[in-house]
Amino acid sequence: MKISVIGTGYVGLVTGATLADIGHEVMCVDVDVQKVEQMKQAISPIYEPGLGDLMARNIAAKRLNFTSDPQSGFKEAEVIYIAVGTPENEDGSANLTYIEQAAKDIADHIENDIVIVVKSTVPVGTNHKIKQLVEAAVKGRARIAVVSNPEFLKEGSAIQDTFYGDRIVIGSDDEPSARIVEAINEPFGVPVFHTDTRSAEMIKYASNAFLATKISFINEISNICELVGANVENVAAGMGMDSRIGHQFLKAGIGYGGSCFPKDTEALIQIAGNVNYEFELLKGVVNVNRKQQLLLIEKLNACVDSLAGKRVAVLGLAFKPKTDDMRQAASLLIIEELLKQGAEVVTFDPVATEKAKALLNPSIVYANSLEAAVEGSDAALIVTEWDEIKNADLNVFAGMKRPLVIDGRNCFGLEMVKSHAIEYHSIGRPAIFNATNKDFSGVKWSPEAERLVHWGLNTN
C-alpha cells in the first residue's frame, strides 16, 4: 500500500523503514528540513542498531522516501500513520500539541478517503478526538477512519521488536479499517489482537505501567536485601521461576528512564485523576524510581567524608545501552548532585557523549575510553550497563586513586570481583572489601561493612 508516516523519531522512522522493508511504498513526513535531507542520504538522526542499513536498502529500492511538505507527502497516501511525540506537561499529562497539528495537516491536504493510524502514545479518547477534528475540517469531501495501533518498541532493539514482536494491537470501532491495518502488518507474521479503540489506547499505558511496577518492586526488594544480608539476584532468580511472575524486568538497579516509562506512568496517573480515581500503586512506583536514581550518591556518601574536590568517574550516560537517548537518564540527576556536592566529574559513554554535552554542565570532562575515565579517580559509578563496561577487565580499576566502584547495574559477578583489588558496592548484593596496597588511612568505610559483619558474611 501507499503509506505516509508523520514524524521521524524512534517510532516514526522505525515504523516507516520496516513497513517499507515488507513491501509498502512509504513516505515519511517531518517538519525539520535539515533532518529530512539527512534521511534522504540514509543518515539516521537517532542511534538505533541496524536502522541506517534498513533505510539505505529501502531508499535504494525506492520504497522509502522523505519530505518536509505535507501536501506532497499525503498526495497519494491510502493510509497515514501519526507517530509524533506526546511529551509530558508540567502536571504529568500528555501534551497533544503535535498530535493536533498532525491532524490539522491531514485535514488540510488529503483529497481522498483515508485511514489514519495512530502509533503515538495518547490518552484514552484521543483517537476519537482526532477523527472528530479531521472530519469537521474536511467537511465531507473524504471519508475518515481512525485506528489505534500502539507501538511496543524498545530502544536498542526496535527493529527486532517490529519483526519479532509479541503482538500487534489494533483498536478500532470500524471493522473494515481495522482489517486494512491488519493486512498492512500481515507480512511481519506477528500475532494480531483486535479490540475497541479505547481499550487499545489503555493497553499501551497499562503495559508500560506494569513493567515499571516490576522494576520498582524489585528495586525495593533489593534495598531490603542489603539490610538483611540477602542477595537480590538469588531472590529474583527464585521468583522468576514462578511462571506467573517470570524473569523479565526483575533486574535490580537504579531505576528506569527514557522516553516511555517515566512519561507514561505520569500520564496514566493523570488519566486516572481526570476521572477522580487515585492510582496509589502507580504513584508509589514513580516515587520509588525517583529515589532509586540517586541511590549511587547515597552509597558514595557512605564511603567518603566529603565529595568536595573528589574526582568521580561516571560510566555510562544514556538511560540504557544501545541508544544515545538521554531523556530521563539517571546520569543527569547523578551528575547534577555530584557537582552540587563539589565533585569533579569525568564521564565515559561509547555512544551518547554528543547528546549529553548539550545537557550537562560545561565543567564535565568526557573521556574517550573507560581506562581514561577511571585513571586517577577517587570513585567510579556505573550508571549504564554498556558491553564495553560489562566486559571490561576489572584490572582497569587498579589505576584509580582509590579503587572504589559503585555499580548501579550489577554488571559484575561477585565471585569475579573477589579476585580483584577493589572495593565494590552494587545493588541488593553484599559489598566486597578487598585488601589492596593503596593507602586508605583516614578513609571512611561504609556502614554496609558493619552490616555484613553482623550477618557473618565474608567481607574479604
Tell whether domain 203-291 is in CATH 1.10.1040.10: yes
Confirm or deny that 438 is annotated as ligand binding: no
How far apart CA 17 and CA 64 sit, in angstroms, is: 7
What is each CA distance from 238 to 216, 218, 242, 265, in whole angstroms? 18, 12, 8, 28
C-alpha cell at 36: 529530512
Q: Are 92 and 269 in contact (CB under 8 A)?
A: yes
- Could you tell me which residues come within 8 angstroms of residue 203 by beta carbon, excluding any fewer than 6 positions away? 150, 169, 171, 195
Confirm or deny that 340 is annotated as ligand binding: no
What letters, b where the CB count within 10 A reaches 16 and e where it falls short, cover 145-173?
Answer: bbbbbbbbbebbebbebbeebeebbbbbb
C-alpha cell at 217: 518492586
List the chain domain ranges: 2-195, 203-291, 293-454
How far apart CA 258 and CA 137 sit, in angstroms, is: 36
Confirm or deny that 35 is annotated as ligand binding: yes
Q: What confidence score (pLDDT) does residue 12 get?
A: 98
Confirm or deny that 13 is annotated as ligand binding: no
Q: What confidence score (pLDDT) does residue 251 get?
A: 97
Confirm or deny that 62 is annotated as ligand binding: no
Q: Where are the alpha helices (DSSP H) in 29-143?
A: 33-40, 51-60, 70-74, 97-109, 126-138
Q: What confidence score (pLDDT) does residue 447 get?
A: 54
CA angle 123, 120, 258 (to 5 degrees): 95
Torsions phi, psi for 427 (to 5 deg): -105, 115
Give the pLDDT of the chain (460 residues) as one tens digit per residue.
Answer: 999 999 999 999 999 999 999 999 999 999 999 999 999 999 999 999 999 999 999 999 999 999 999 999 999 999 999 999 999 999 999 999 999 999 999 999 998 999 999 999 999 999 999 999 999 999 988 999 999 999 999 999 999 999 999 999 999 999 999 999 999 999 999 999 999 999 999 999 999 999 999 999 999 999 999 999 999 999 999 999 999 999 999 999 999 999 899 999 999 999 999 999 999 999 999 999 999 999 999 999 999 999 999 999 999 999 999 999 999 999 999 999 999 999 999 999 999 999 999 999 999 999 999 999 999 999 999 999 999 999 999 999 999 999 999 999 999 999 999 999 999 999 999 999 984 544 444 445 455 544 444 344 444 4
Tell me if 2-195 shares its fold with 293-454: yes
How far apart CA 147 and CA 114 sit, in angstroms, is: 11
Indicate the pairing of strand 168-171 with strand 192-195: parallel
pTM, rounded to two decimals: 0.91
Q: What CATH superfamily classification does 293-454 receive? A: NAD(P)-binding Rossmann-like Domain (3.40.50.720)
Q: What confidence score (pLDDT) does residue 435 get?
A: 46
C-alpha cell at 451: 552490616
How far apart CA 284 and CA 271 sit, in angstroms, is: 16
Q: How many CA atoms lie within 13 A of 193 on its CB side?
A: 14
How far apart CA 140 and CA 113 sit, in angstroms, is: 10
Q: Specify which residues 192 forms β-bridges with.
A: 168
Confirm or deny that 263 is annotated as ligand binding: yes
Confirm or deny that 163 is annotated as ligand binding: no
Confirm or deny that 452 is annotated as ligand binding: no
Q: To 10 degrees, what angle do helices 280-292 and 261-274 make?
A: 150
Report helix, strand or coil for 380: strand
Q: What CATH fold (topology level) applies to the domain 2-195? A: Rossmann fold (3.40.50)
What's the one-letter identity of residue 187? P
Active-site annotation holder among 28, 225, 260, 411 = 260
Confirm or deny that 86 is annotated as ligand binding: yes
Is residue 303 flagged as an active site residue? no
Q: How far apart are the first and last CA of the chain?
A: 65
